[in-house]
Amino acid sequence: MATEAQSEGEVPASDSGRRDAICSFVICNDSSLRGQPIIFNPDFFVEKLRHEKPEVFTELVVSNITRLIDLPGTELAQLMGEVDLKLPGGAGSASGFFRSLMSLKRKEKGVVFGSPLTEEGIAQIYQLIEYLHKNLRVEGLFRVPGNSVRQQILRDALNTGADIDLESGEFHSNDVATLLKMFLGELPEPLLTHKHFHAHLKIADLMQFDDKGNKTNVPDKQRQIEALQLLFLILPPPNRNLLKLLLDLLYQTAKKQDKNKMSAYNLALMFAPHVLWPKNVTANDLQENITKLNNGMAFMIKHSQKLFKAPAYIRECARLHYLGSRTQTSKEETQQRTEEALRELFQHVHNMPESAKKQQLIRQFNKQSLSQTPGREPSSSRVQKRTRSRSFSGLIKRKVLGNQMSEHKDKYATPEAVTMSELKRASKENMNTDSSEESRILLSSTQNLLSSRSSVTTTHSGTWTGSLLAAF
């Protein structure tokens, strides 16, 4: 049985194949955090965008869904919830009215069964799911019906919100499994919602193409997984949460098919009517679509461990949505600090005593284009980058700082920061000397400072002067 199932592409029965499971968290042990592990969720920015800007999030996801599957105007409007689904077979407003009426009556009683899906209801149903995880080897699980009397007792207990001791032996696994199906069958709409019905039919039609670009009959599994990942992102949170719990349970059940005789496809036949089929329709209403829906349900069970994470490009778009603006702000702040440094240096030169050296420095400022003159708006002209000289950099630092700073041997080392007052004091001392070499050095350093204005970056606001000296 196991060999036959694997040939049909069923979930393998062995527990050793954990490679299909994808971890949703990364644990980082940072020594600076006193040994406390920090857990990062790779979908953090995706969830943040979903909660804080749902319209932006939905537009991002839906635009990628339509890239993968062709949704005409009406079907796209249904996916967006702008128009109601036209149910197959003419199941329409009358049946919908009575279903809504029954739902309202049950909701007034505050019950779980038959009410719209809520997190509180999921918490009650999770007791059934947790128990079934411990009893996956029961033959015919989800297929063999349980005892109706025991099921009613269990149903009433769940409706009251009580915690139930399912380990007492009062209930059988088949009672619990049947009641779980009953809960899904009494939801006002399928777990995957009416809005997504046509999208799932289109995902089932995603096929591979041959070398000539012709469509084949081989399903394109990677595109189907990607489309389902996107579609699950825009499910209502309660639906998405319960779907994840359910598919994981069915995945684990199918892995024990050598004991329980329930393959992924057999489970799909049991659950597709509650998860995918529109309410109040029959197999005759669905006609040829019933095969697509059943196969689609089996596909979701087999690949459930991959379906509840966002595609990499959605993660990146969400991350850039929040971090991209920070990067732009940092660049603007850096440019502003550089402009302020140049203006201060320019003002310092003008305050120097009149001398030939001062005139030389002023002429160097005036030689720059309008975009390079301190206090002017930058123009569109391009600035040529100067090649930095390691030996010349050391010479400048020794002359300006009076041999107080030694030259680093590592070419990637960053010079220590110096304050503007130190730069002023050092330059004033140099201006009082008759050394032509020192004049040439200060003149060249001013010119290099101006030429590096557009490329200077700093990491800390308090060390911008040191970064400017690095350009020398």
* 266-289 pLDDT tens trace: 999 999 999 999 988 888 888 889
Q: In angstroms, rounded to a whole number, what is the distance separating the alpha carbons of residues 410 and 131? A: 63
Max Cα–Cα distance, the chain, nearest Å: 109
Residue with tokens 């669905």: 286
For the stretch 75-114, what's the b/e string if a residue is b when 16 or more beta carbons lie within 10 angstroms of its beta carbon?
Answer: bbebbeeeeebebbeebeeeebeebeeebeebeeeebbbb
pLDDT for res 326: 60
Strand (E) or helix (H) holding 217: strand 215-219
Q: For residue 73, count other CB atoms closer than 10 A to its CB.
A: 9
Angle at 233 between CA 92 and CA 95, to 5 degrees: 10
DSSP secondary structure, 421-465, as one string: HHHHHHHHHHHTS--HHHHHHHHHHHHHHHHTTTT---SSGGGHH
pLDDT for res 349: 74
3-state secondary structure of 187: coil
For residue 153, give both structure tokens: 């007792």
Helices 312-350, 356-367: inter-axial angle, 10-degree rounding? 150
Pick from 337, 334, 347: nearest CA to 373: 347
pLDDT for res 363: 75
For residue 423, give both structure tokens: 């730069």
- HEC secondary structure over 1-24: CHHHHHHCCCCCCCCCCHHHCCCC
Structure confidence by residue, pLDDT tens digits, 9-47: 455 444 443 333 333 334 444 444 445 554 567 889 999
pLDDT for res 53: 93
Q: In this structure, what are the phi and psi dihedrals at residue 392, rounded to the nearest 5 degrees?
A: -65, -35
The residues with which 39 forms a beta bridge, in sequence order, are 27
Helices 173-185, 264-275: inter-axial angle, 10-degree rounding? 40
Strand (E) or helix (H) holding 397: helix 390-401
Q: In angstroms, rounded to a whole number, what is the distance separating the alpha carbons of residues 235 and 222? A: 20
Q: In angstroms, rounded to a whole number, what is the distance separating the alpha carbons of residues 187 and 184? A: 5
3-state secondary structure of 102: helix
pLDDT for res 213: 87
Q: What is the reported pTM? A: 0.62
Contacts 24+ apart (CB under 8 A), 203-212: 203/69, 203/227, 203/228, 203/231, 203/296, 204/292, 204/293, 204/295, 204/296, 205/69, 205/292, 206/68, 206/69
Q: In angstroms, rounded to a whole number, what is the distance separating the alpha carbons of residues 266 and 142? A: 9
Q: In angstroms, rounded to a whole number, what is the distance separating the alpha carbons of residues 49 and 58? A: 10
Provide the 8-state DSSP code for 219. Answer: E
pLDDT for res 335: 74
Q: Which residues of the chain carry a pLDDT beneath 50?
A: 1-9, 12-34, 38, 90-110, 369-420, 422-424, 426-427, 429-436, 438, 453-472
